[in-house]
Amino acid sequence: MNFEVDLAIEVLERTPPALAALLGGVSESWIRGTEGPDTFSPFDVVGHLIDGEETDWIPRARIILAQGESLRFEPYDRFRHKQRNAGRSLTSLLQEFADLRKQNLRLLRSWNITSRHLSLPGEHPRLASVTLAQLLAAWVVHDLGHIAQVSRVLAKQYSDEVGPWTPYLPVLTDHLRPRS
């Protein structure tokens, strides 16, 4: 598929309700499980996605669209959520994520992005030059990667419960050395 803003928004607007449908109201033992030390639980993933709304995707798109003196993005702190959300409930994080995403997509739509905008450059702190289209496509893929991660982390809580089925359930052996 080629990148198109409308098709990207179709996915971006579904991520909060999909995560709410998957995680809303489930027990703490599902929500807090991880894949091992220093990896994200489903709770952490929702916090990380909130960080993305506040500090990553839209702020970087603004830098590109402004085409000001510096095109350089701020680095993205992948662990900001850890302190920020201590003591929060998952229900409140899911709602916050949904609200932030709604605001950000309203803003994105209001920019009436054309193909000229899509090829404008920005400067990633480690990847060097990227375009607005690449940034927005990465936002979509980032969402989907984290939905896949939540499903995988939930699945792995039953790694020892499926007995001889393990070889038929590849999700249990994906990312044996996971990156958070």
Closer residue to a second copy (CB): 87 or 128: 128
- Least Å distance between CB 47 and a second copy? 18
- Using the Cα atoms of residue 123, residue 112, residue 115 and residue 48 in order, give the sign of their dihedral: positive
114 touches a second copy by CB under 8 A: no
131 touches a second copy by CB under 8 A: yes
Q: Using CB under 8 A, which of the segments 18-26, 62-70, 79-87, 102-110 binds a second copy?
A: 18-26
Reduce the secondary structure of 18-85 to three states and give it as a string: HHHHHHCCCCHHHHCCCCCCCCCCHHHHHHHHHHHHHHHHHHHHHHHHHCCCCCECCCCCCCHHHHHC
Task: List residues near a second copy by CB under 8 A.
Answer: 1-3, 7, 10-11, 14, 17-18, 20-23, 25-27, 29-30, 33, 124, 127-131, 133-134, 137-138, 140-142, 144-145, 147-149, 151-152, 154-155, 157-158, 161-165, 168-172, 174-175, 179
